Amino acid sequence: MDTERINRELLDFLDSSPNAFFAVANMAKKLERAGFVRLSEGDIWTLAPGGDYFVTRNGSALIAFRVPAGEWSGFNIMASHADSPSFKVKTDPEISVEGNFTTLNIEKYGGMLCRTWFDRPLSVAGRVVIRTESGVESRLVCVDRDLLMIPSLAIHMDREANSPSAVNVQTEMLPLFAGKCDKGAFLELIAEEADVSPDDILDSDLYLYNRDAGKIFGLNGEFIASGRLDDLQCAFASLTGLLESEPTGSVAVHCVYDNEEVGSGTKQGAASTFLADTLRRICSSFGGDGEDFLRAAANSFMVSADNAHSVHPNYQGKADPTNRPYINGGIVIKYSANQKYTTDAVSGAIFREICKRAGVPTQTFANRSDMIGGSTLGNISTSQVAVNCVDIGLPQLAMHSAYETAGAKDTAFLAAAARELFSCGIRRTGEDLFVIE
């Protein structure tokens, strides 16, 4: 694969996707340009062999799929998520500070590294729900300029600033919006961006985003830095692989959930019926019944793709003694005895074979045995659709920072593995034999 081209397209995607709503909208545009047909969950689906389709839910989750022209027996799925830790703007957000400053009232979304949000150019993006002559309509808005800043406290006033300490989100993280301003100025700004009257805005889902553009850096351009690498890097690689695939034997499924960072328990999250509903409807459209769906699930394979921790150059001791993935070292296969990750011997072996076919290196990750690691969407999603699943990711540093670091080679590795996954057929013969065609 053309690594330089992929990195350029990845950075464009990251810069134009300040949150899940925009990430899904951008993926939808790319799919439509490639000839994919948009489906609606509220309509009857009529699918054809060799057809390419996609469907969205809540405007923040998306499933795209390619149906082989010939017979197929199951689904090859790569699942990722579109959301990243950020700050959500509360209703009625303006706070006047002694008549001289105006800050915005916000709350945490997900588990971010709060200190990385200080002293950065920020703005606001999301969706507003407005009143129109035709009904209630959702509309995306993005204030595309440096609008906000969360100023840190001078070290002269906090001599312990460089010591480990918690940050109070309610009092210390409120973004500076303006000097003295009229009440309702923020709503007026958002209404102007949405091209509506403030009185027509019924509600909103607005989030802060980091305005720093993505960059390639390092002596030899080895690294990528950007906001939202977790997990838009995997979502982008999965989509790239899907668009370059030629499915045979299995339906290729690119699945991007929302709300992974807050537990996945929403109608558009991994704990929802979104994937199961979509796969059942694909079976049904080709004349299958409930039994056929269960048989297809038994012949299916899922890759849960969510970024992984690289060994940190300044904190080497935080990594496991023997499972030590590095940036630019290849795709990371994640293991956990306590089932934080779904990988087992079977799913790990199948994915290694897929990567070998794609000519892609792999690494392994396990948490130190005295540390509790995070979980991801694999085991949540497979509670809804019982398929063999492997948890993988691309190695990165500063996960959940406002500005993260990853490898310039690794996106192309995952795109190549995704293309191979989506192009092959995986059949289960009996209980213990899987055939990769």
Q: Are strands 135-142 and 215-217 parallel, antiparallel or unpaired?
A: unpaired
36 lies in some domain:
yes
299 lies in some domain:
yes
Mean pLDDT value of segment 48-53: 98
* pLDDT > 80? residue 377: yes
Assess whether 143 and 21 both reside in one domain.
Answer: no
For the chain, the domain total comes to: 2
Assess whether 170 and 96 both reside in one domain.
Answer: yes
Assess whether 264 and 322 both reside in one domain.
Answer: yes
Could you say which of 210, 243, 261 is where a domain stops?
210
Q: What is the pLDDT of residues 191-203, one digit of tens each?
A: 999 999 999 999 9
Which CATH number covers residue 359? 3.40.630.10
Q: Which of 392, 319, 335 is nearest to 360 (CA)?
A: 392
Mean pLDDT (the chain) is 95
Assess whether 403 and 301 both reside in one domain.
Answer: yes
Could you identify the residue written with the tokens 């950065």?
120
DSSP labels for 25-74?
A: HHHHHHHHHTTPEEE-TTS-----TT-EEEEEETTTEEEEEE--SS-EEE
Assess whether 120 and 199 both reside in one domain.
Answer: yes
Considering the chain, what percentage of its residues have pLDDT values greater than 70?
99
β partners of residue 426: 436
218 lies in some domain:
no
Which CATH number covers residue 201? 2.30.250.10
User: What is the C-alpha separation between 25 and 197, in angstroms, rounded?
Assistant: 24
Assess whether 409 and 370 both reside in one domain.
Answer: yes
135 lies in some domain:
yes
Q: What is the pLDDT of residues 138-147, one digit of tens each?
A: 999 999 999 9
Token pair for residue 415?
């795109």
Q: Which of 244, 297, 271 is nearest to 422 (CA)?
A: 244
Helix residue ranges, H only, 323-394: 345-358, 378-381
Considering the chain, what percentage of its residues have pLDDT values greater than 90?
90
Q: What are the counts of helices (DSSP H) followed by strands (DSSP E) for the chain?
A: 10, 22
Mean pLDDT value of segment 17-46: 98
Assess whether 253 and 161 both reside in one domain.
Answer: no
Assess whether 197 and 281 both reside in one domain.
Answer: no
220 lies in some domain:
no
Assess whether 190 and 251 both reside in one domain.
Answer: no
User: What is the C-alpha separation between 72 and 250, in angstroms, rounded?
Assistant: 5
At 432, is the pLDDT very low, low, confident or very high (cuts 50, 70, 90)?
A: low
Assess whether 336 and 346 both reside in one domain.
Answer: yes
Q: Which residue has the higher pLDDT, 338 or 259?
A: 259
Mean pLDDT value of segment 185-214: 96
219 lies in some domain:
no
Token pair for residue 16?
């134009």
β partners of residue 97: 101
222 lies in some domain:
no
* pLDDT > 70? residue 375: yes
* pLDDT > 80? residue 101: yes
270 lies in some domain:
yes
The verdict on whether omega for the bond into residue 231 sits within 30 degrees of 0, i.e. cis, is yes
Q: What is the pLDDT of residues 260-295, one digit of tens each?
A: 999 999 999 999 999 999 999 999 999 999 999 999
> Structural domain of residue 126, as residue ranges?
86-210
Q: What is the pLDDT of residues 309-358, one digit of tens each?
A: 999 999 999 999 999 999 999 999 999 998 889 999 999 999 999 999 99
Q: Are strands 301-305 and 72-81 parallel, antiparallel or unpaired?
A: parallel
Mean pLDDT value of segment 368-397: 91
At 102, is the pLDDT very low, low, confident or very high (cuts 50, 70, 90)?
A: very high
DSSP labels for 85-119?
A: -EEEEEEEEEEEETTTEEEEEEEEES---GGGGTT
> Residue 115, class by beta-carbon neighbours within 10 Å (0-12 exposed, 13-18 middle, 19+ buried)?
middle
Assess whether 235 and 185 both reside in one domain.
Answer: no
Mean pLDDT value of segment 46-57: 97
Assess whether 304 and 381 both reside in one domain.
Answer: yes
Query: How many C-alpha atoms does 174 have within 13 Å on its Cβ side?
Result: 16
Could you say which of 151, 179, 210 is where a domain stops?
210
Token pair for residue 145?
């300029």
Could you say which of 180, 210, 240 is where a domain stops?
210
